[in-house]
Structure 1
Amino acid sequence: MKHSVDMEKPPLMISITKRKGDFMKYCSFGDNENELLYDIPPDRGKTSEYCSKDAIDKSTLCGPRYAEHEVVTTRVNYETRGMNHIEGGWPKDINPTDLEQTVRFKKKIEKDDMYIHSVRQLSYTMEHCIRQNNAINIYEMYFDEEDNIPVYENYCYKTLNIFRDPVKQKRPIQQMSWSPDGGTHLAASYCNLAFHQTFNNVQTSSYIWDIENPIKPDIILQPEVPVVSLEYNPKDPHSLISGLFNGQLAFWDVRKGTEPVEISPPECSHKDPVFNTLWINSKSGTEFFSSSPDGQVKWWDIRKLSEPLETLVVDLTKGEEPKLTRAHGISVLEYENSIPIKFMIGTETGLVICGNRKGKTPAEKLSTQYKAHYGPVCALQRNPAFVKIFLTVGDWCAKIWSEDCKESAIMWSNYRRTRLTAGAWNPTRYSIFYIARMDGSLDLWDVLHQQKEPNMSIKVCDEPLNCIRCHENGQLVSTANNNGGIYLLKFSENLAVSAKNDKALLTATFERECRREKIIESKMKEMRLKTRVGKVIDSHIATKDVKANPVINLDQVYIETAEKEFFAIIEEIFDNSPTAKDGILQSGDEIIGINGQSVKGKTKVEVAKLIQNCEKEVNIAYNKLHADPQQGKSLDIILKKVKHRLVEHMSTETADALGLSRAILCNDSLIQKLKELENIEVTYRGLVEHATKVLSDLGTYLHKAIPDTKLTIQKYADAKFEYLSYCLKVKEMDDEEIGYATLQEILYRVDTGNYEYRLILRCRQDARNRFAQLRSDVLVKLELLDNKHIQDVVWQLQRFVSSLAYYHTQVLDLLNENKLFPIEVDLAKTALEYDCNDQMASDYEDESFNVNHNDPMIPESSLLEDATDVLADLENLRFDDKDSEKSPSDSFSEFKCFSSTEKLLHSEDLLTNNPEDELKDKSEDLLLNLK
C-alpha cells in the first residue's frame, strides 16, 4: 500500500506581533490554564484504506555497535629482588656494629664546642614548637563520640581463587595444610583411596600452591606412592611430614628438591594408609606422630625415621595385652600444642578416645571414651580458646563435647539430609565453626546466635567436599572436593573478629550446657543405681524366706553408710597431736621438708610415714599460711550449707525423688534432742496454761533456758553444716589432684603454691573448732535442762500427793461428823450386773496402769482431761468449807499430764485407814521409778 501526502495544503502557522520596544526584555513566565490551539478531527472515511498491524517485540540498542571488539590482557610478572642497606655517617675507623666504639665516639662528639653551639641553635626552633603544642591541646575532643548503634551482622563471603589439579585424572584431595609463615602457601595431598588400585598409571604428585597464583603450583612434590596426609612443621616453613598410601612416612625439605629427604622403612611403618600426621610440641621441633586404620599410633623423630620412638595399639579390651586383631581403626587424630602430653583419637567405629602419652599402662594411655557417632569420626578438633571443648563431625550431624561430660554431647546439630565430611573451628572467633557436606555445601555455625540451623550455607561446588582448613587470620577458609579442586573463600571481617563480650558469653554458654548435662548424667546414674539395688533386693527376697527376712530398709542402710563416712572424715584431724596442742602447725600450712628431706610431690600418706619413722626429734620445715579464714567461705561453701539444711528438713521420699541424700544429720543424737525439747516445750506450755500458780517457776525454764538451748543447738547444726561443707570441698580438691596425678599432669594451683587448698584446710580447722565447742556447750545445757526437768516433776508430784492427803483428811472428818450410815461397795462386781461399757468400770481396769511413759504418741491433753474429771468428781463429794486455808482443787490444778499419776487416781488403796502413809509410800515408789 502506498501512502500519499498532500503537499498543497498550507502548513500550520501562527503569527505573533510585538512592538519594537518589547524586544530584548526580560521574560517573565507564568502558569496559565490549558488552552486548545488547534484540533484536527479524524477522517473516518479513509479507514478502509488502512489495515492494523500486529504488535511485535523489538529491542533497541542505544549505544554504538562495534563491528569487531578485542580485549588483550597482559599478565604482570612479579619477581623478588633484594636490597643491600649499609649504614653511613660513621668514620672509617669506627665499626658501627661495635657498641662500645660507637658510644665512645658519641661521648667525644658531645664534648665538642661546635656540638653544643649547634644544639643551642636548634633548641630555639624546638622550643617554639613545644610552646605551640602546650598552648593548644592537640588531644582535646570538641565533639563527643556518638554512641555506637548495634548493627545487624551481615554475613558475606567471596571466592578469591580456585586451584585446580593440573593432572587430567580426577584425584580427591585428602588433606591440606597452611604454611606457618603467615599462610602464604597451601600444601595439598592428592590421592585416590580406591581399594586395590595399582600405581602404574596413577599420578602420585602433590602440590604446594601460592595463594596468589592459582594457575601454576609453586612446588611439586614427587613421591613414589601417593600422599594421603601432609602437614607443615609449625616451626619451619620449609619442612613437611607426610603419610603415604602404603603406610610409610616421608619427610620433605622443599629447599632440597621435590623428592622426600627420608622415608621410614616398610617393616616399621603402618600396615594401612596413613590418614593423619601431626607435629608434637617438643624442644627439638623434630618429633611427630601418625595414625592409620590399622589401629596403631606411632611417635617418630625426623632425625631417625628408621624406627618409631613409641607405638600404641588402640585396643580397648581391659585386662589383656593389646593386639592388632582387636584394635580400632583410627580415622582422625587431634593434638593441641598447649597440652603437650595429651592427644585425641577418632575411630572408625564412632568412638572418641582421650589419650595420655605419659600413661604407664594401655588403660592409662587411653583413659576416657566418648560414644560420638554411629559411623567413622570424620573430623575432631579442640576449640582454640576452650581446650576442654572439642568438635566432632560424623555420619549426619556435628557435635560439641566437653571433657567433663562423658555420657553425652553438650550441643549437637540436627541430622542433615546429606552426610558431613569435615569440620573446623574458626581460630579467631571462637563461637564459629565450619562444616563441609557431601553435596558440595559449606555450613557456617555460630553457637552464640543460633543452634538449630546454620547461620549461612554456601554452595561451593557440585562435587562432594572432602576437607576444610582455616587460615590463622580467621577470614580465609580453604576447602577441597573430590575432583582435586581447592576453593579459597574469604569471609567478611565480622566473622573473624570477636565482639567485646563474645568470650564471656561463650564461657557462660558452655558452662550452662555442661552443668545441664552433669545434672542429667547424675540423675541417670542414680536411676541405674536404684535399678541395680532393686534387682539385688529382688534376688535377696527370692532366695530367702520372706518371713524370716522382712523388707530391707534401704533408707537405714544409706543413713548408716553416710554416717560412717562422715565420722571417718572427722577423724582425719588428730586432736591430741603435739602440733595441734602447741598451735604451731595448723591445717593449711604447707610442709616443705622433714629432717632436711624435701617432700615436694609426695602424698600425705608418704609424708605421714616419714614422720612416723623418725625415732628421735622431728624437724618440719613448712610455709605458714597467713590468711583470713573468711576468704575461704566462698559461694560454693554457702550453697553446700544451704543444700544440707534443705535436705535435713525433707522427707525420705522427697529427698530420694530429688536425688539427694538425707544421711548426713538425720541420725544425729543432738539434733534428735531438739525434737525432744520441742515435746517438752509443748508439755510445759500446757502446764503454763492450766497451772497459773506455777507459771513463775516455769517461766525461766520456758522463756530462757529452752530458747537458749534451741539457739545453741541451731548454732551447733550450722557449725556442723559449715564444717561438713569444708570437708566435702577438701575431698573434691583431693580428687582433682588425684585425677591430674593419674594423667601425670601438674595442677595449676598446686604448681603455684596451692594457696586455695591450704586456705580451705585452715577454714576447715576453724570450723571444726567451733563445731566442737558448740557440741560441748549443747551437752552441758542439755544436762542442766534434764536436771531441772526432773526436779520440777518431783516437786509437782509432792504437791499433788500433799493435796490428795489434805483432801482425803477433810473428807473423813466430814463423814465422821455427820455419822452417815455405811455404804457397802460392791468392789468384786458380783451382786449386780454391770454394763461392760461403763465409764467407771473402765477407769478401774488394770489396763490403765500399763501406760508407756516414753511413748510420744500419747497426748498429754487426754491425761489432763482424765485428771480434771477425777478432781471434779472429788470436789462434788466434799462440803463447802470457807475457812479452809487452801482449796484442794487449786492444788490439783497445778498437776499436768504425768501419766504416772493415773495409778494414784485409780488406786483403791486410797480408801484405806492410813491414806497419808499409803500416798507417801506410793509417791516415793513413783519417784524412784521416774528417776
Structure 2
Amino acid sequence: MDIHFQYLKKRKNFGHQTLFCEVPAHLIDSIDPSPEEYKRYILRNPVHQASQVGKNMSQCEINTIRVEYANEGANHAEGGWPKDVNCLDEEATLRYRRRIERDDCYVNAVLSTFKKFNHTIKQNNAIEMYQMYFHGMPQECAVEKYIVTNKNTFRDGGARPVSCIDWTIEEDTKMVVTYCNKTYPYEGTTVNKNLEGYVWSVENPNTPFYELRPPSACWQIACSPASPSIIVGGLEDGRVCIFDMRVQDEPTIISPFHLAHRDPVSSLIYISSRHNNEFFTGSTDGSCLWWDIRDFSVPLDSMIIATEVPPGEVLSLAHAQPVSALQYDRSFPTRFLCGTDTGLIINVNRKGKTISETMTTIFRAHNGPVKAVHRSPLTSKMFISCGDWTVHVWSDEVAVSPIITGLAHKYPITDVCWAPIRISSYMSISTDGKLRVWDLLRRYKKPIVSFLVSVNPLMKMKPHEDGRFLAVGDKKGATFLLGLSESLVLPGSQDKPVMLQSYERENRRERILENRVKEIRLKMKAEEEGELELAVIEPDDEEVYRNAEEEYKKMLAMEMANMGVVTSKINRSRVR
C-alpha cells in the first residue's frame, strides 16, 4: 500500500536568496579591560586535582546456556573399513585395497607425501632412540623456589582486631572470621560495641557470604566437622553458642549463664566422638568444660586446671591456672595439652583421679602466656609452642627443656602452626607484620621464607587442610588469603624418615644431658654431705651442660664410626 503526504508552501515564504561575498575585516566592537576587575584577580599556586573520566561500571550476573559434554570413542581393531567390507574376510579386504590403489587420488597422495616420509625415515635411522647419550652425567637436584603470594584481602568495615579464624569443612570451603578486642571486661563493661562476625567466600572479598550476630563479643570460633553450616562460638561473657547458617544469623542455642565460664572463653576445640557433636572449652578462670551441641542445659564434664593444692585445702578455682591455649589429638582420646597464662604447658589426663594423675607432665615453656600449642602431624609425641619472643619444639618424653630451642625474635610471636602436609615445616607470625616459614631439615637457624603480610601487627592464622592456602588476620580487621607454592606444601621423598631420625636424635641427646646433670648434682650432694675439709665449689650450670654435651658428641661420634659412617665435625650449638 502506497502511503504518502503532500506538503505545500508558497515561494514567498522561503525568504531571500543568500549571497556570500568576500569583504575586508572590520572591527565590530571593542571591550577594554576593567581596572576594578583586574585588582580582584589574585595569583595562586598550582592546584593538582584528579578526575575520573570513565563511567562507573556495575556487575551483572546472568545464567548462560548450559552446555553438556559427553565423551565418546571408538575402538578400531583393524583400521577404518567401510560397513560393506568385512575386515575378517581376507579376499574382501584385498579386492577393496586393489580398487583404492587404482584410484588417481591415491597415487597423487602418495607422491605428495613421499618427500616428508623420506626425510622422517632417514632421521629415525640416523638417531638411535633408545641409546642413553647422557648416561654418565650426574643427576642434579631441582632447585626449590619458595614463593608466598597474597591472593585476596578481606577487610572489616570497623577495623576491629581479628580474634579467631577457621575454615568450613566442605567442597566449596569458606572462611569464618570473628572480630573483637580481647581486653578483659572490667566490672561488666566491655570495649567491643560492634559484635558481628563474617563468613567469607574465598572468591568474593567485597561482600561477606554470611553474617554472625552473637549476643557478646566472640573470642573463639570452631566449625563442625560433621556439618558445614554449624558453627560454635565462645563468647566474652563465658558462654558458648551455636550458629546454624540454614536458619538465622543469630545463635540458635546458647548455654546458660550459671553453667558457663566466669571469664571469656580463651580456647575451643572439637573432640572425637561418634557423631562429632562434642567439644570442650577453656577459659582464663582456670576451668575446662565439655559440651554436647545436642544438649546445652548442662556440661558433660568439667575440670579445674591446677598444678598443686596446699595441704588441707580442697581443689577450687582459687588454685587454678588460667588457660590460654588448648590442643587435642584424636590419637589420645583422654589426653590433651593445656597452655596457661603463666607460661606452663600441661599434659592433662582427663580420666585421672588425683592431681598427680591428672597433670601428668608440666613443661615450663615460656616467660609469658602460651599463645598456641600444636602436635606435629609426623608424630604425636612431638608438639610446638609459641609465647613471648620464642618458638620451641617439645617431646612428651623430655619435660626439662625443649628438644629444639627456637631463636629469640625481635618482636613478640602471636601464633604458630605446623604445615598440614610438609611435616618438617612450621609457620609463625609476629607483631612486625611478617609471616615466617621454617624448615627444620633445610635451614635450621633462619626461615626459608620471610613475607611482609601487613604493616599492622598480625594476630591469628589458620592454614587450610590441603596446605595450599593460609588465612592471616591483623589488628586492623584485615584477613589476608595467602597462597603457598608447591615447594612449601609438598614434602620431599625422604623428609619423613629423616625427620624421624632427627627427632629421635634430639630426644636422645636431651635424655643424655638430663641424666648427666642428675649425676653431677647427686655427686655434688654426696660431697657436701661428707665431712670434707675443703669447701666444694658448685660448678656453673652452663659449664655442666657444656661438659655433658661434649661427652654426648664423643659418644655419638664413636657410634657412627662403628656403623662405618665417616663422621665430620659435629657443628651443633645448643641455644639457651
Aligned length: 429
Question: For 1:92-111, what aligned pairs fall within 5 Å after superposition?
Answer: none
Residue pair 1:413, 1:451 contacting (<8 A) in 2 also: no
Pair 253,520 (structure 1): closer, same or farther in 2 beyond 3 Å? same
Q: Which residue of 1 aligns with 2:167?
A: 178
Partner residue of 1:283 out of 261, 274, 277: 274
Give, in angstroms, the shift of residue 396 of structure 1: 0.6
Measure the CA separation in 2 of the matches of 1:402 and 1:325. Answer: 30
Q: Which residue identity is paired with 1:179?
A: T
Please say if 1:365 is aligned against 2:358.
Answer: yes
Please say if 1:400 is aligned against 2:393.
Answer: yes
Give, in angstroms, the shift of residue 206 of structure 1: 0.7
Q: Which residue identity is paired with 2:301?
A: E
Partner residue of 2:287 out of 296, 302, 305: 296
Please say if 1:77 is aligned against 2:61.
Answer: yes
Question: For 1:243-642, what aligned pairs fall within 5 Å after superposition?
Answer: 243-317=234-308, 321-538=314-531
Partner residue of 1:222 out of 202, 207, 213: 213
Give, in angstroms, the shift of residue 375 of structure 1: 0.4
Measure the CA separation in 2 of the matches of 1:510 and 1:449. Answer: 15
Pair 73,498 (structure 1): closer, same or farther in 2 beyond 3 Å? farther
Measure the CA separation in 1 of the matches of 2:527 and 2:192. Answer: 67
Measure the CA separation in 2 of the matches of 1:532 and 1:335. Answer: 41
Query: Residue deviations 1:630-650, cap 9 Å, x none?
Result: xxxxxxxxxxxxxxxxxxxxx
Pair 342,200 (structure 1): closer, same or farther in 2 beyond 3 Å? closer
Q: Which residue identity is paired with 2:465?
A: E
Give, in angstroms, the shift of residue 69 of structure 1: 6.5
After TM superposition, the structure 1 stretch with the greater mean CA deviation from structure 2, 239-248 or 253-262, is 253-262
Residue pair 1:183, 1:472 contacting (<8 A) in 2 also: no
Give, in angstroms, the shift of residue 302 of structure 1: 1.1
Measure the CA separation in 2 of the matches of 1:349 and 1:233. Answer: 31
Give, in angstroms, the shift of residue 323 of structure 1: 1.7
Measure the CA separation in 1 of the matches of 2:253 and 2:435. Answer: 37
Measure the CA separation in 2 of the matches of 1:467 and 1:343. Answer: 21
Q: Which residue identity is paired with 1:346?
A: G
Pair 80,353 (structure 1): closer, same or farther in 2 beyond 3 Å? farther
Residue pair 2:146, 2:488 contacting (<8 A) in 1 also: yes
Tell me the SS of whatever aligns to 2:246.
helix
Give, in angstroms, the shift of residue 201 of structure 1: 7.6
Indicate the structure whose relative CO is greater, using CA pairs within 8 Å and at least 6 residues apart: 2
Residue pair 2:226, 2:275 contacting (<8 A) in 1 also: no
Residue pair 1:171, 1:482 contacting (<8 A) in 2 also: yes
Give, in angstroms, the shift of residue 480 of structure 1: 0.4
Pair 125,423 (structure 1): closer, same or farther in 2 beyond 3 Å? farther
Q: Which residue identity is paired with 2:217?
A: P
Measure the CA separation in 2 of the matches of 1:201 and 1:492. Answer: 38
Give, in angstroms, the shift of residue 148 of structure 1: 5.8
Q: Which residue identity is paired with 1:221?
A: L
Gaps of 5+ in 1: 1-66, 86-120, 129-140, 543-656, 660-931
Pair 277,410 (structure 1): closer, same or farther in 2 beyond 3 Å? same
Measure the CA separation in 2 of the matches of 1:188 and 1:263. Answer: 19
Residue pair 1:199, 1:225 contacting (<8 A) in 2 also: no
Q: Which residue of 2 aligns with 1:238?
A: 229
After TM superposition, the structure 1 stretch with the greater mean CA deviation from structure 2, 288-297 or 339-348, is 339-348
Give, in angstroms, the shift of residue 474 of structure 1: 1.1
Query: Residue deviations 1:877-924, cap 9 Å, x none?
Result: xxxxxxxxxxxxxxxxxxxxxxxxxxxxxxxxxxxxxxxxxxxxxxxx
Pair 164,73 (structure 1): closer, same or farther in 2 beyond 3 Å? same
Give, in angstroms, the shift of residue 214 of structure 1: 0.6
Structure 1 stretches of 4+ with a deviation exceeding 4 A read 71-74, 78-85, 124-128, 141-148
Measure the CA separation in 2 of the matches of 1:285 and 1:418. Answer: 39
RMSD: 3.2
Pair 275,77 (structure 1): closer, same or farther in 2 beyond 3 Å? farther
Partner residue of 1:152 out of 140, 143, 156: 143
Tell me the SS of whatever aligns to 1:259.
coil
Give, in angstroms, the shift of residue 155 of structure 1: 1.1
Pair 80,264 (structure 1): closer, same or farther in 2 beyond 3 Å? farther
Measure the CA separation in 2 of the matches of 1:76 and 1:362. Answer: 64
Give, in angstroms, the shift of residue 316 of structure 1: 0.9
Structure with more helix by fraction: 1
Q: Which residue of 2 aligns with 1:164?
A: 155
Query: Residue deviations 1:314-344, cap 9 Å, x none?
Result: 1111565322112110110111123222110
Give, in angstroms, the shift of residue 429 of structure 1: 0.2
Pair 309,500 (structure 1): closer, same or farther in 2 beyond 3 Å? same
TM-score (normalised: structure 1): 0.43
Measure the CA separation in 2 of the matches of 1:239 and 1:68. Answer: 45
Tell me the SS of whatever aligns to 1:180.
coil
Give, in angstroms, the shift of residue 419 of structure 1: 0.6
Larger Rg: 1
Partner residue of 1:193 out of 182, 185, 188: 182
Measure the CA separation in 1 of the matches of 2:52 and 2:211. Answer: 42
Query: Residue deviations 1:645-682, cap 9 Å, x none?
Result: xxxxxxxxxxxx989xxxxxxxxxxxxxxxxxxxxxxx
Tell me the SS of whatever aligns to 1:216.
coil
Measure the CA separation in 2 of the matches of 1:321 and 1:84. Answer: 72
Measure the CA separation in 2 of the matches of 1:493 and 1:658. Answer: 41
Query: Residue deviations 1:535-587, cap 9 Å, x none?
Result: 4435xx89xxxxxxxxxxxxxxxxxxxxxxxxxxxxxxxxxxxxxxxxxxxxx
Q: Which residue identity is paired with 2:201?
A: D
Pair 489,315 (structure 1): closer, same or farther in 2 beyond 3 Å? same
Give, in angstroms, the shift of residue 511 of structure 1: 1.2
Give, in angstroms, the shift of residue 307 of structure 1: 1.4
Residue pair 2:308, 2:355 contacting (<8 A) in 1 also: no
Q: Which residue of 1 aligns with 2:96?
A: none
Pair 163,315 (structure 1): closer, same or farther in 2 beyond 3 Å? same
Pair 151,83 (structure 1): closer, same or farther in 2 beyond 3 Å? closer
Measure the CA separation in 1 of the matches of 2:440 and 2:524. Answer: 37
Residue pair 2:176, 2:199 contacting (<8 A) in 1 also: yes
Structure with more strand by fraction: 2
Q: Which residue of 1 aligns with 2:194?
A: 203
Residue pair 2:394, 2:404 contacting (<8 A) in 1 also: yes
Measure the CA separation in 2 of the matches of 1:536 and 1:436. Answer: 51
Query: Residue deviations 1:235-286, cap 9 Å, x none?
Result: 2211111100000011122111111111111111101100111111011211
Gaps of 5+ in 2: 1-50, 70-82, 91-128, 534-549, 553-576
Pair 148,74 (structure 1): closer, same or farther in 2 beyond 3 Å? farther
Equivalent pairs: percent with the same residue?
A: 33
Measure the CA separation in 1 of the matches of 2:416 and 2:324. Answer: 14
Measure the CA separation in 2 of the matches of 1:410 and 1:447. Answer: 12
Tell me the SS of whatever aligns to 1:188.
strand
Give, in angstroms, the shift of residue 507 of structure 1: 1.0
Question: For 1:783-822, what aligned pairs fall within 5 Å after superposition?
Answer: none
Residue pair 2:271, 2:278 contacting (<8 A) in 1 also: yes
Residue pair 1:207, 1:218 contacting (<8 A) in 2 also: yes
Tell me the SS of whatever aligns to 2:422.
coil
Residue pair 1:428, 1:473 contacting (<8 A) in 2 also: yes
